[in-house]
Structure 1
Amino acid sequence: MTEVPTTYHWTPDGFVRAWAAGAFNGRVELIEGEVWTVVIGGWHGFAVLRVAECLPRKGFRKSNGTLPTAGSLPDPDCWIVRANAEPIGKIGARIDVWDSKDVPLVIEISDETVVADLNVKSKLYARGGYAVYWVITKDAVYEHTEPRVSGYAVVRKFLPGERIPVRYADTDIAVDDLLFDE
């Protein structure tokens, strides 16, 4: 007889309790009930700081904390929240829940995780109702807009030499300023 492997589906509350109890080694996030290891290389860290420095902040705050989304607990590399926004809830004692209307931009810096960021996470953030999601790679910026339950309706690729709109600030940024060369 063949045994069927049992897969555990984590809830956000269960994940937070396990994390607080020290159940995980290293940095992890909860994506659609699964625990994912967060992969961060040298290029990634430099790119995150470069992107954060480029983003306008007047009337907004920048974060890289956990952003509860559609039953998951992803750790985007950067996200923007209105400066006057207040959390609408909490998961555990430390994770704030935000209204997606107060979070106009979510960003993943992507190298080893580009396939998951462009596919799984884009659908996750779209279901969460976030207006704009960027995936920044070494070569391009992918802008996702018009969130739907099934994913973003519009995906545009911006290349070096082009400018990408920063919709929440009614401005744009040179793609070259967002890309980090090693």
Structure 2
Amino acid sequence: MTVTTAKWSLGDYHRMIAAGILADRRVELLQGDIVEMAIEGESHAYSRNEADEYLTELLGDRAKVRQDSPVTLPNNSEPEPDIAIVQRLGREYRSHHPYPENIFWLIEYAESSLVKDLEVKSKIYAEAGILEYWVVNLKTMQLIVFRDPQNGEYASQQILTSGTISPLAFPDVAIEITAILNP
């Protein structure tokens, strides 16, 4: 027996949100599928909040650091990354979420969502042309850095536990790995 699932468009998804159909659910749209988001544990919330404050202070007026807010991607996806470092477009974001061309890089904190973040979201972000994507593995306290999107996948993957990293968008900025991991 073949099972066919219904795929949702961004327009469908936005209409469901506007109608309140998804009001009581933590979901995101991934390649046309409405996917439940994992419940956020204490370690996840703490680490994300600390990294958000650190990056906001470090980047200043150069970028906007957004937490748990959607980004709109052309591959029928509207994920809600834990942290999105985006262009400062002010009120323009009243009419749309950041598009790929507005995104400097994305960060996901992962414990129970590790497989989804490493396998599903990395492909979605690479396919959309997001130049840099970081996953913080809260189980092993590692930062996994994905760069160089090619043919729907990242050609470069690096695992870091200490030292500094400079994001592609801001090569003059040195980010302390421990400030992102928050051990």
Q: TM-score range by the shorter chain?
A: 0.7 to 0.9
Q: Which amino acid aligns with 1:166?
A: P
Residue 120 (1) aligns with residue 120 (2): yes
CA contact (8 A) 2:165 2:175 kept: yes
CA contact (8 A) 1:108 1:136 kept: yes
Moved more, 76-85 or 6-15: 76-85
| TM-score, normalised by the number of residues in structure 2 | 0.84
SS of equivalent residue, structure 1 residue 167: coil
The alignment covers a number of residue pairs equal to 173
CA contact (8 A) 2:87 2:103 kept: yes
C-alpha deviation, 1:85, in angstroms: 7.5
Q: Which runs of 5+ in 1 are unaligned?
A: none
C-alpha deviation, 1:118, in angstroms: 0.9
Residue 79 (1) aligns with residue 84 (2): yes
Q: Which has the higher helix share?
A: 2
SS of equivalent residue, structure 2 residue 51: helix
Q: Which runs of 5+ in 2 are unaligned?
A: none
C-alpha deviation, 1:132, in angstroms: 0.8
Q: Distance in 2 between matches of 1:47 and 1:131?
A: 23
Q: Distance in 1 between matches of 2:122 and 2:167?
A: 18
The residue that corresponds to 1:33 in the other structure is 32
Q: Which amino acid aligns with 2:72?
A: P
C-alpha deviation, 1:47, in angstroms: 1.2
Q: Distance in 2 between matches of 1:100 and 1:20?
A: 23
CA RMSD of aligned residues (A): 2.1
C-alpha deviation, 1:86, in angstroms: 7.8
Identity across matched positions, percent: 26
The residue that corresponds to 2:45 in the other structure is 45
Q: Distance in 2 between matches of 1:152 and 1:95?
A: 30
- Change in CA separation of 1:95 and 1:71 when aligned onto 2, cut-off 3 Å: farther
SS of equivalent residue, structure 1 residue 152: strand
Q: Which amino acid aligns with 2:31?
A: E
C-alpha deviation, 1:122, in angstroms: 0.7
The residue that corresponds to 1:68 in the other structure is 72
SS of equivalent residue, structure 1 residue 10: coil
Q: Distance in 2 between matches of 1:98 and 1:77?
A: 14
| TM-score, normalised by the number of residues in structure 1 | 0.85
Q: Distance in 2 between matches of 1:153 and 1:6?
A: 32
